[in-house]
Chains A and B, each alone.
Chain A
Amino acid sequence: MNTEHFSKQFDTELDELRSRVMEMGGLVEIQIRRAIDAFFSGDLDRIEEVIDDDHRINGLEVSIDDDCAHIIARRQPAASDLRLVMAVSRIVTDLERIGDEAAKIARMAREVYRRDRLVMPRLTDVRKVGEIAAAMLRDVLNAFVRLDAVEAARIVREDLTLDDNFRSILRQLITYMMEDPRTISTALDIVFIAKSIERIGDHATNVAESVIYVVKGKDVRHIAIDQLEREALAGGH
Chain B
Amino acid sequence: MGAWLGLLLKLAVIGALGLAAAHVGGTVAGLTTVCTLLAINQLSHFLLLRRMRIWLRAPDARTLPRDQGLWGDIFVDLYRSWRRQRDERDRSAITLERFRSAVRALPEGVVMLDREHRIEWFNQVAQRQFGFDASRDLGTVVTQLIRHPRFALCLRGTGDADPVLIRAGTGEGRELSVLVVPFEAGGSLVHARDVTQLQRVESMRRDFVANVSHELRTPLTVITGLTESLMDDTMAGADIRHHYLGMVRDQARHMNRLVEDLLTLSRLETQDGPVQEEVIDGAALAAAVVEQGRVLSAGRHVLTMNVTPVSLRGSATEIYSAFINLVSNAVRYTPDGGHIEVCWGIEGGVPVFSVRDDGIGIAPEHLPRLAERFYRVDRGRSSATGGTGLGLAIVRHILLRHQAALQISSAPGMGSTFRAVFPASRVADEEVVVADI
Residue from the list A33, A131, A138, A145 in contact with B144, Cβ < 8 A: A145
Residues of B within 8 A of A26 (CB): 143, 147-149, 152
Check: A121 CB closer than 8 A to any chain B CB: yes
Mask for A15-52, Cβ within 8 A of B = 1, else 0?
10011001101110110010000000000000000000
Residue of A nearest to B413 (CB): A121
Residues of A within 8 A of B136 (CB): 146, 148
> Judging by beta carbons under 8 Å apart, are A145 and B140 in contact?
yes
| Chain A interface main SS type | helix
Check: B15 CB closer than 8 A to any chain A CB: no
Closest-CB distance, B130 to chain A (whole angstroms) = 10
Check: B210 CB closer than 8 A to any chain A CB: no
Residue of B nearest to A21 (CB): B144
Mask for A127-148, Cβ within 8 A of B = 1, else 0?
0000100000010011001101
Residues of B within 8 A of A138 (CB): 169
Closest-CB distance, B24 to chain A (whole angstroms) = 71
Given contacts A22-B144, A121-B412, A142-B131, contact A30 B149 (CB under 8 A): yes
A33 and B175 alpha carbons, distance in the complex (Å): 13
> Judging by beta carbons under 8 Å apart, are A29 and B137 in contact?
no
> Judging by beta carbons under 8 Å apart, are A146 and B137 in contact?
yes
> Judging by beta carbons under 8 Å apart, are A23 and B140 in contact?
no
Residues of A within 8 A of B167 (CB): 33
| Chain B interface main SS type | loop
Residues of A within 8 A of B140 (CB): 145-146
Residue of B nearest to A15 (CB): B141
Residues of B within 8 A of A15 (CB): 141
Check: A172 CB closer than 8 A to any chain B CB: no
> Judging by beta carbons under 8 Å apart, are A146 and B147 in contact?
no
Interface size on B, residues (CB 8 A): 20
Check: B161 CB closer than 8 A to any chain A CB: no
Residue of B nearest to A16 (CB): B141
> Judging by beta carbons under 8 Å apart, are A19 and B143 in contact?
yes
Closest-CB distance, A208 to chain B (whole angstroms) = 17
Residue from the list B149, B363, B412 in contact with A23, Cβ < 8 A: B149
**From B137, B144, B364, B365, residue with most partner A Cβ within 10 Å:** B144
Check: A124 CB closer than 8 A to any chain B CB: yes
Given contacts A27-B149, A131-B172, A142-B131, contact A124 B144 (CB under 8 A): no
Residue of B nearest to A147 (CB): B136
> Judging by beta carbons under 8 Å apart, are A19 and B144 in contact?
yes
Q: Mark out the residues of chain A between 179 and 205 whose CB falls within 8 Å of any chain B CB in the assembled complex.
A: none
> Judging by beta carbons under 8 Å apart, are B149 and A22 in contact?
no
> Judging by beta carbons under 8 Å apart, are B148 and A30 in contact?
yes
Check: B133 CB closer than 8 A to any chain A CB: yes
Residues of A within 8 A of B141 (CB): 15, 18-19
Check: B43 CB closer than 8 A to any chain A CB: no
Residues of A within 8 A of B (CB): 15, 18-19, 22-23, 25-27, 29-30, 33, 121, 124, 131, 138, 141-142, 145-146, 148
Known: A23-B143, A146-B136. 8 other contacts (CB 8 A): A15-B141, A19-B141, A27-B147, A124-B365, A141-B147, A142-B169, A145-B140, A145-B145
